[in-house]
Homo-oligomer: A and B are copies of this chain.
Amino acid sequence: MASVKVTSQDVARRAGVSQPTVSRVFTPGVKVSSAMEAKVRRAAEELGYRPNTLARSLITGQSMTIGLIVAYFDNPFYVEALEKLSRALKDKGYNIMIFMAANHAGDVDQVVQDLLDHQVDGIILASVSTSSDLTARLNEEGVPLILFNRGHSDKSLSAVTSANRAGGAKVAEFLLAGGHERMAHISGWQGASTGRDRCDGFVSALQAKGKEPLAVVDGLFSREAAAAATRSFFSAAETPDAIFVGNDHTAFAVLEVLRGELGLDVGQDVSVIGYDDVAMSAWPSFDLTTVRQPANRMVDAVVAQLIAQIEGRATEPRQIEIDGPLIVRGSARKPEGWVE
């Protein structure tokens, strides 16, 4: 019940050594004679001593904590990323302080301040953006920030994304090769670089082959918006024979409208392609052709770059793009003679 905090001082007394010696034993990479080490470890064991990381951080200026800011977890891609990030950072000795923030700069800035107050060593922004004011402040304080799955025009920010333009282009080429004629796009939110880049890549690749998309609608990364867009496509005179959707999570809503409300045979009457390759896309219920965002490699890149900046090995911010393959499943008609 009563909080029995054991300090290095207590251990020192019991082991008959000085307090800094105790500290040295618990600081990796500091030399202590094995005799001392043994005495101290035994005393510590007996008392149940563990170093107070707060006190340590106060001195070293390193909290070994990374702040993670996420807007929402509706999209399972971010859930998968969180899981991987958590494990990857833990492996490197870092802990995660997590915050949910509304996706507008004001709220994000507020949360970043909170994190700075906690002396985090670095910050990861997943699916949100921040103001340039704050970026400047972060630079001043020497706390690196990195964007996950978002690009940014400010090249003083590090960012890791997949190759979204290239991904959009792959979709266009696959659909063209499959003989599709009327390709619509329900884009990701145009306020986000991912939404814009996938869209640009797709449209540009079509145009490069002398084709125009049948329609392009901003699906806002929202199931409801995507479902509404799908209905509107099929109440028009000319209906699409393929729909490229800005991410898997919203593509599922599109599939449901097509199969359920419209009674279409997806993959036959109409092709659907998503983006992300979240685990659910492989479920039989969806069987979605999609562009994979390699979450593992993206996470590894984020962690490596962030830690490099924290440790001063990388002073320059980097924008890293990771390429991902098109994963072909049943939701889209395959080109003739298609081989895996």
Contact = CB atoms under 8 A, between A and B. Distances in A.
Nearest to A50: B117
Interface in A275-328: 283-286, 315
Interface string A47-65: 0101111110110010101
Interface stretch (A96-104, A122-130, A190-198, A236-244): A96-104
25 contacts: A1-B139, A1-B140, A3-B61, A4-B140, A48-B137, A50-B113, A50-B117, A51-B117, A52-B58, A53-B117, A53-B119, A54-B54, A54-B58, A76-B76, A76-B79, A86-B98, A86-B100, A90-B99, A95-B118, A96-B97, A97-B98, A98-B98, A256-B285, A260-B285, A285-B285
A97 B256 CA distance: 37
Contact of A79 (B3, B73, B116): B73
A245 to B, nearest CB: 15
Interface in A1-23: 1-5
A187 to B, nearest CB: 22
Interface of A: 1-5, 48, 50-55, 57-58, 61, 63, 65, 72-73, 76, 79-80, 82-83, 86-87, 90, 95-100, 113-114, 116-119, 137, 139-143, 252-253, 255-256, 260, 283-286, 315
A199 B322 CA distance: 46
A9 to B, nearest CB: 15
Nearest to A5: B141
Contacts of A58: 52, 54-55, 58
B98 A96 contact: yes
B99 A83 contact: no
A96 B100 CA distance: 10
A21 to B, nearest CB: 20
Nearest to A96: B98
Nearest to A115: B95
A65 B255 CA distance: 42
Nearest to A6: B141
Contact of A118 (B2, B54, B82, B255): B54
Contacts of A113: 50
A82 B86 CA distance: 14
A264 to B, nearest CB: 14
A73 B83 contact: yes
A97 B97 contact: yes
A121 to B, nearest CB: 11
